[in-house]
Amino acid sequence: MIIVVAGALALVLAGHRLLPELGGFTPVLESLLPWLGAAVPLLVVGALLTRSWKVIVTALLPALVWGVMFGPALLRTAPGGPSDLAVATLNVGVTNADSGRAVRAVAKGRDLFAAQELTPGGPAAKELSRRFPHRIQVSTIGLWSRFPITEHRAVDIGLSWTRALRAVVETPKGEVTVYVMHLASARPGKTAQRDHTLAHARQVIERDASENLLVLGDLNTATTDRKRSALVPPLADAHQEAGTGFGFTWPASFPVTRPDHILYRGLTATSAGVEPAAGSDHRAAVAALRL
């Protein structure tokens, strides 16, 4: 039994992208992929009890696969160096009565702040508007900036209401095009709408010729989700390039996956991390980048 389970686990880890989508279940499984490693210690202990080298070696196989896949994330260190932009993105939580305090803590020292699930005129929007001189808010999303916003418009990502925007920010080092996006949710057996919005997002990015570009937001697409390949590449992921660990952001009380992302092109990530946000069911994704 241990040999069968260990072999199956190693195959799922190494070949998860070859699995059928099973009505949207597999992409959700992929969102939790690093957690499959939790079964390895149990398999190893069971194998040791058998005192069979064949069983022990087989039990170590998924550990090896897991280490190759996820070890670099645990060992990675931030490249550091000078940066020109400190950015953050946070799903503040539409029912979060403490959203003002949530954004206050995360906004400190940031140049750009992207927010999702905003209540128009609510505590989060008011707090951010006190802290940043420039802002654009569309429906339940918004961007606040320390630098002037010279252009802005709503962006269609295939939903019946607006949950994306495009803005051009004039920084001391030049223009940066910033997208704030909140894609549709993905749940077991219900990923079609998320996939639809992800395809729209890809088309929007492909049509944009901006040299320096950022995508900030709750993309409802985990780092290990096969569908994320719609955006990464062509974009780079700040946490994968300059963060340490997995950078899980949801749920806030015990994060197990990362739907919140800072993606870019034309810039260089120098550091990235995750910060708590009072009352929200998400943690904030933060990064520093160099133009």
What's the pLDDT score for residue 266?
A: 97
pLDDT at 23 over 80: no
Arithmetic mean of pLDDT, 51-75: 87
Mean pLDDT of 65-78: 89
Parallel, antiparallel or unpaired: strands 134-138 and 141-145: antiparallel
pLDDT bucket at 104, cuts 50 / 70 / 90:
very high
* Other Cβ atoms within 10 Å of 196 Cβ, number: 15
pLDDT of residue 232: 96
Q: Are residues 113 and 209 in the same domain?
A: yes
* Beta-carbon-side half-sphere exposure of residue 142 (alpha carbons within 13 Å): 23
Same domain, 28 and 133: no
Tell whether the model's pLDDT for residue 220 goes beyond 80. Answer: yes
Please state the rounded mean pLDDT for residues 182-193: 88
Q: Is 42 in a helix, a strand, or coil? A: helix
- Select from 16, 50, 75 the last residue of a domain: 75
Residues 225 and 112 in one domain: yes
Strand-pairing partners, residue 271, are: 288
Residues 6+ apart with CB under 8 A from 73: 240, 244, 245, 246
- Token pair for 195: 């996939």
Share of the chain above pLDDT 90, in %: 67
- Altogether, the residues listed in the chain come to a count of 291
According to DSSP, residue 41 is labeled: H
71 and 97 in a common domain: no
**Band of residue 21 on the pLDDT scale cut at 50, 70, 90:** confident
Residue 247 has which token pair? 């950078």
For residue 277, being part of any structural domain is answered with yes
Number of domains in the chain: 2
Same domain membership, residue 134 and residue 254: yes
Bond preceding residue 251 cis, omega within 30 of 0? yes
Residue-wise pLDDT for 228-282, tens only, equals 999 999 999 999 999 999 999 999 999 999 999 999 999 999 999 999 999 999 9
Under the banding of pLDDT at 50, 70 and 90, the label for residue 57 is: confident
> In this structure, is residue 80 part of a structural domain?
no
Handedness of CA 18, 24, 26, 31 (dihedral sign): positive
Q: Which domain holds residue 223?
A: 85-290
Pair 93, 163 in one domain: yes
Q: Please say which residue of 28, 56, 75 terminates a domain.
A: 75
What pLDDT score does 252 carry? 95
Quick one: 117 and 19 in the same domain?
A: no
For residues 200-223, average pLDDT: 96
Angle between helices 99-107 and 123-131 (to 10 degrees): 30
Strands 164-171 and 260-265: unpaired
**All residues at 6 or more sequence positions from 204 whose CB lies less than 8 Å from its CB, including other chains:** 155, 157, 164, 166, 179
| Same domain membership, residue 279 and residue 136 | yes
End-to-end CA distance of the chain: 54
C-alpha 29/C-alpha 225 separation (Å) is: 8
Which token pair is 178?
């910033």
User: Do 171 and 135 belong together in one domain?
Assistant: yes
CA 135 to chain centre: 23
Report whether pLDDT(154) > 80: yes
Q: State the burial class of residue 224 (Cβ atoms within 10 Å of its Cβ: 0-12, 13-18, 19+).
A: buried
Beta strands in the chain (DSSP E): 85-91, 112-116, 134-138, 141-145, 149-154, 164-171, 174-182, 213-218, 236-237, 260-265, 268-275, 284-290
Q: What's the CATH code of the domain at 132?
A: 3.60.10.10
**pTM assigned to the model:** 0.93
Q: Which of 167, 101, 155 is nearest to 128 (CA)?
A: 101
Within-domain flag for 100: yes
Average pLDDT of the residues of the chain? 92
